[in-house]
């Protein structure tokens, strides 16, 4: 769960990278699934609901967006699946940026009292889930800040660039102010010489 930041007027998110730390794999030999990353539509409270839960190949709920299929790809033997940092890939990051922009376009507010978006890691199948699981660090249980989840956003202004004729006028404007000053300083210099 992340509270949305305030965006400057006319700005959009151009890049978004979600990074999570896979701390451990519990009972690795019982796991036979990959983990998919979803984002859930914004809401004004930080409350997690039962409707947020999902297990299966594809969540078709209108409030869930698949950000990255196989965010964690199970190795041939689960014990060979590496722990450590996992980040959205290029396609996942593009989907995440698009998702976040859509949340703002749908009325989400950022800032201290802003709205929240939720990220969900879901097993990609329902059969044979076993007793094991992937253990990711969260904001609350990570003892070291480097293990906590992070969401890195890049924004850009969507304000239109001035037309070339406007740029020419803007470039000429200082000359309009400088030319009379140069003329006056030459006249003052001549007056001082006389």
Series of mean pLDDT values for 10-residue runs along the chain (194 residues): 90 95 82 90 93 90 94 76 92 97 93 88 81 84 78 84 36 34 36 34
What does the alpha-carbon distance between residue 4 and residue 34 come to, in Å, rounded to a whole number?
28
Q: What's the confidence (pLDDT) of residue 45?
A: 92
Q: What's the confidence (pLDDT) of residue 79?
A: 65
What does the alpha-carbon distance between residue 102 and residue 128 come to, in Å, rounded to a whole number?
35
Q: What's the confidence (pLDDT) of residue 142?
A: 56
pTM, entire model: 0.76
The string of DSSP letters for the chain reads -EEPPPPPTTEEEEEEEEEEEEEEEESGGG----EEEEEEEEESS----GGG---SS----TTEEEEEEEEEPPPSSGGGSPPEEEE--HHHHHHHHHHHHHHHHTT---STT--EEEEEEEES-STT--S-EEEE--TTT-SSGGGS-EEEEEEEE-PPPPPHHHHHHHHHHHHHHHHHHHHHHHHHHHHHH-
What does the alpha-carbon distance between residue 36 and residue 63 come to, in Å, rounded to a whole number?
16
Q: What's the confidence (pLDDT) of residue 85?
A: 93
- Cβ pair 117, 100 in contact under 8 A: yes
Q: What's the confidence (pLDDT) of residue 145?
A: 72
Question: What's the maximum distance between 2 C-alpha atoms anywhere in the chain?
Answer: 102
Q: What's the confidence (pLDDT) of residue 103?
A: 96
């Amino acid at each position: 769960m992340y509270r949305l930041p305030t965006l400057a007027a006319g700005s959009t998110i151009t890049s978004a990278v979600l990074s999570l730390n896979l701390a451990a794999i519990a009972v690795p030999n019982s796991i036979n699934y990959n983990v998919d990353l979803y984002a859930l539509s914004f809401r004004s409270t930080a409350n997690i609901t039962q409707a947020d839960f999902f297990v299966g190949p594809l969540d078709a709920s209108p409030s869930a967006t698949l950000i990255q299929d196989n965010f964690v790809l199970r190795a041939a033997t689960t014990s060979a699946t590496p722990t450590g940092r996992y980040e959205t890939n290029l396609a996942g990051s593009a989907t995440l940026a698009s998702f976040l922009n859509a949340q703002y376009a749908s009325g989400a507010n950022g800032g201290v009292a802003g709205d929240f978006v939720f990220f969900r890691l879901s097993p990609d199948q329902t059969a044979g889930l076993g007793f094991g699981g992937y253990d990711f660090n969260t904001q609350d249980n990570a003892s070291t800040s480097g293990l906590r989840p992070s969401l890195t956003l890049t924004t850009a202004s969507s304000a239109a660039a001035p037309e070339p004729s406007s740029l020419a006028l803007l470039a000429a404007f200082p000359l309009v102010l400088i030319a009379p000053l140069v003329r006056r300083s030459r006249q003052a210099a001549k007056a001082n010489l006389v």
